[in-house]
Structure 1
Amino acid sequence: ASTISLFGTAGENGWYLSNVTGYLSASDATSGVANLSYRVDGGSWLPYNGPFVLGDGLHTVDYFASDQAGLAEAIHSTTVAIDRTPPATTATITGTAGANGWYVSNVIVGLSANDSGSGVAATYVQVDGGNWAIYAGPVTLTEGNHVLHYYAADVAGLMEATHSLSVSVDATPPATASSLAGTAGANGWYTSNVTVSLTSTDATSGVAAVNYRIDSGSWLVYAGPILFGEGRHLLEYRASDVAGNLETIHARSIAVDSSPPLSSVGLSGTQGANGWYVTGVSATLTATDVTSGVATIEYRIDGGPWVTYDRAVTLGEGRHVLGFRATDLAGNREIDRSVSVLVDTTTPVSSAGLQGSLGDNGWYRSNVTISLNASDATSGVARISYRLDNGSWLVYGGSFVLTDGEYTLEYFAEDAAGLVEPAHTTTIRINTVAPITTASVSGTIGTNGWYTSAVSVTLNASDGTGGVSETFYRLDGGLWTVYAGPIVLSDGRRVLDYYATDVAGNREPVHSRSFSIDTAPPVALASLLGTVGANTWYVSNVTVTLDASDATSGVAGIRYRIDGGPWQPYGGPFMLGPGRHSVDVFAFDAAGLWSLSSTTKIDIDIAGPTTVDGVSGIAGENGWYVSYATVTLTASDPGSGVASTAYRLDGGAWIAYAGPFSISRGGRHVLEFASVDKAGNRGPIARDSVDVEASKPYFLSLTGSANATSSPVRITWSAADNDSGIAGYEVRVDDGAFFSVGMATSVLLNLTDGSHVVQVKALDGAGQSTIGTLSVQILSASAAPFGSLFLVVGALVGGAVAVVAFRVWRGRRGPNTKSR
């Protein structure tokens, strides 16, 4: 049997990565091995003389052995795979080439790997230092600088060295911005030279150059700010980057106008004197501008607000300053211009001032001073002319005086612009004599210059020249009234003023007459000061104050009397004490009128009522009642009389007294009672003690030896009383006399043999008693003589409370209803 051994560097998937040395061996346990033969890849058989070497490729080695006996074994076959050469990878780049090694589009990189031995297992790729990945298809590279690493591995496990590929992609042209420095005007114009700065950026390959041209001229390389002067200009510019990208051309219009426009004015109107126009003036404004053109013309009148000019400006009356200026489309405004325009289209106005005492119907009642005045709001008055009664025209030089008579005055004025007003005409009448008025009076005269009836006044006026026109009067400074007949004056201090006027308007001085009239008597009243109680009564002394009023002549005096006594003059407040009173009062005024007497009723009660009680019932001892106690309350009040009485028991609620009432509840009671009179006075609260014993004493316990074998025998008891309390105890034996044991609650008795009846009497504070009985049997008498009785009193404190007995007593007596 033969075997083969292979020695070389093992790879993956059964492949060797180096030449392989083969070793054959054989054994034969009987005749021994004679020959060992092999062949490679189906070639000639070769005797095995020692190790043989296999190189790259996939080989088949066949071998067998034969022994000395001539026997040959079956042929063995083994396969040997050898790959000593790693794969090789190539990269293919697809994209638009730019300048300086840059691509100006996205780049697609394709990888292709070959291996002539074991074959390619996988291709690996890494982009920009990222994670390695198995190549599955073309890699797309976008904007930026990229480094692509790649390699391949074959089936045998051989890996080629890592390849590195740098690719720069810039598919975006640069961006150029322009900034303008200059004084901005209007409508896109600049009003100064303009400096243009170009700034270009390219985030990838970087800017290579910036080019520009002006007004479609030659392209120039931008090296610094560009200066533009007067006119309209077109600036075009663009930039190129290192990769060769060229941006789209930018175009910008630049308009420069640094010169303002020039305006002028034309005036038309009728000229008068001294440079004045005597009609409205029309002003026409024009302007020119050689560059941007005129945008607007503005004007203002007399320093007012500027207004845009759109038609001829009309200037009316006055002294005017017309300001105007023009602005071009670039916003340049010329220096303000102005022209003075004087316009007066209105004639002057004159008037005559008449100074004198003007009466009625156009007449003056004094000499009249004539003053002529004229006004002209625009150019001013040049002169005034006048004449009297169709005489010669005179130039007015100052005021003049006219005396009594009738005159016709004519006058007119002329202004500085040459305008003359129409003549004015006025008539002047003068009369200086006044009428005279007298008054006659009738009425009833009282005292102190007063009238006690209405007063009638009749006025009479006369005038020696033109006659009386009207007579006027007024009362107490009121409105003036035309006199039409006698004037009736009513109450009060009245002042009558009167005067008359004549037809010429003269008015006499005002006459004044005073009248004191009082037709109403005074009114007297009494006011009371005191503490008001109930039912119109006063509960204190009352101070009476008398007062009187008289709206006209005033109070002269007051008289009064008390309770129908004599009349007396009132000198000041007086006081009334308790009782029912009447005060009569009247007053008289300064005019001698007396008022009617008035009466005031005054009821005064300053003391409360007194109340006493009476108690009836069955009297016990020590002031106790041993039956219901009936209480009767009696109140008295000498003033207003008793209104009500109330009482309460043991501090409880107050109860209105309606008649005698009973106290049935046992115990010591405090009765309080008081009354209120009709004036509201409350009397003092009275107090009385009412003690009612509603039950007798009762035993709580009574004990002793029922069948004693020897004497003495102790008898013990306890008793109670709910109202007046236990006052003491008495004891007797076998119908003997009761003897007192005081407050002791036990007794020691020496009794003879036999049956005995012991009785204990309990006495309460009201004198009532209750007897308790106990039977005692003595079985063996003592040696004491028969009938002798030895009494030993033991003062023992408290016995046990017989609860059952107490409950029986409570059930009999009923619940305690005392109010607290």
Structure 2
Amino acid sequence: LEDLQGEVFTEAKRHYAASWGGLFNSPNNVEVTDTWLEYNFLGEPLIPLWKSEPRGLSVNINHTDSLTPTVRVSVTDSETSAALPGATVTLEWAAEGIWEQAVTDGSGEAILTFSIPRFGDINISVRKAGYLPFMDYVTIRDTLPPVTSIRILNGTEGENGWYLSQPLINLSTDEPARTFYRWDSGEDVEYTGEFEVPEGVHSLYYYSIDLYGNVERERQSIFKVDLHDPVVEIRVEPSEPDGEESWYRTAPLVTLLLNSSVPSASEETIFYRLDSGGVTRYTAPFAIEDGEHTISFWAEEESGRVSGRMLFEIKVDTVPPKTTIRLDPSEPDGKNGYYVTPPTVTLSSPEGESIYYRLSLDEDFKLYRGPFAPEEGYHILQYYSVDEAGNAESIREKEIWVDSRPPQVKVEIDPERPDGKNGYYTERPTLRFYCNDTSPTTIFYRVDEGPVKTVKGPLTLDDGNHVLMIYAEDEAGNRYTLPSIRIRVDTTPPEVHCIVSGDAEGGIYRRIFSIDLFTEEMGDTIYYRWDGEPAREYTGALRPPGDEGTYTLYYWGEDEAGNRCPEDVMIIRYDSEAPRGSVDYTEERGGKVTLLLDGITDGMGVEKYVIDYGDGTVRTVPASEKTPTHTYRRTGSYTITVKAYDSAGNEATFTVGIVVGVMDLYLPHVIGLILIIIAVLAATLVIYLRRQREILLMEIPEAIPLERGLKD
């Protein structure tokens, strides 16, 4: 009954808390929060209704530090250390009434993921029937530094990042923190409210420290503030005009400078314009040239501030007139300062002054009346102008070199004419070069496609068909080019090669396909002759004049230039026919046959004979053995085959039939053979009887006397 009452009481509390659960997540709902805390943190209260003594819980808590922390809770029995599944774990963020709940698994663990609005303490309760409830908290610490943001208020923006009025600075952080700042290398000041940027270029350094002591990395912002426009002043030296009618006869020096009484924060640049010319950046005092001029000047600051534009008028006449010379061509069109085209000289003065000139120091100056062209040669042109006031210009000079005539070149060849055929030189020709120009002249040449070279003396040409390009160039660059010279040089006679194509054995050809003669160069002519025959021009492959024999081929060559090589000789041994003729024989008693080979002939001579006598006997005999013999052992008809080979390997076969009788010759030999056979049989019988006797002696008992045994 007591347990039942405890269960009813507990369920009533659970029902009461669950019925208000829908309101629990509403922030600042104190009534619901307290009710829930009472149920979850107190758990089943320890009242007399419970009969058994509650046990203790051992709780281990691990968590991560972030705004979405993960909390791992392990629950065991404090006495047995056994894992307790089914324990209810509750996390609660009290300020906003945020909570999360889970039940431990079979290993006594519960993992809860929780979202909190800021870092701080999370309440934890663990309850399980039969156990005293567990209450604790964990602190979720802030490990990230704060982030400070800067805002610029007011402030008129100029150029290049400058402000033309003082802006206000506002600093804020993304979490509760203390913020500090300083200007340039000054002391750190704690930020308490918006502040102004001082005039000039300054660096603002700032950072924040949150409630957990996390320090932000120092940040930097650069501010440029300029509050004043520049003021420019002009000074002229001499301070007053030193001529009549406000003219400066001495070249005045103009200085532009900033008014030092006006403060300036940004970099200032002074600009000026002379008359209608371009805008010039002022860097140093400048002189004013002759003429009537208007100077406008002002200053600009990097911030975009500009001073008012000022105008200053000045008149200057300090120098005598200046004569301008113009030549056409404007620059020497030759080399080394020479004009190869006579230049037209034009003299002019901007104010229409009188101009005088002369082309030689030996001449008097004369009045210039219009353009003129100097003649060939070297000139020193002197000229000057005089204005209406009588100011005379200093005499000016200009050197003018005129050379418009190209040099003339002559080439001599030794020998004067080709000494070979078809326009060829068979001796290397020598070329000599001559030039009649008065100025220093260089002669150049090029052989075929080779490089251009300078003539330094006689030129000797090597073999070949050459094209010479020759030109001369004087110091002024005038060039004279000779027509191309074609020179053919061939000092080397041709070399004729002979190749015999065919089958040869022992230096003798039995077949010749062709005899080819050739040289290495095109255009060569080849000649040949056989033994005492007349010479002929070679036009194609040759063959020996006959089918058999030793032939001597004479050959030589002549090139296009007429160079002839020495006559060469090739000896050709040629045998295209096999031996020919017939074979005879003589026969003697007893089967002896003598072959007569004199009837076999060959143009190059027989080298050997291979004889098959028809009875299984084959012999090779040299050509010198003309009467070989052979003795037959049996009577019968035989065919003798003779193969004759010449030195070239040609083969001819000859046959002759023969009938041989040999009986009278063999009778004594037969009788002798019979007697030999009888003797062999008798000897064999004697040996056999002796062997039988030895066997009998071995079988006779020892008791029998030797003589008796022998008798038996």
Give me the TM-score of the superposition, normalised by structure 1.
0.34
Query: Which structure shows the higher helix fraction?
Result: 2
Query: Which structure shows the higher strand fraction?
Result: 1
Give me the TM-score of the superposition, normalised by structure 2.
0.38
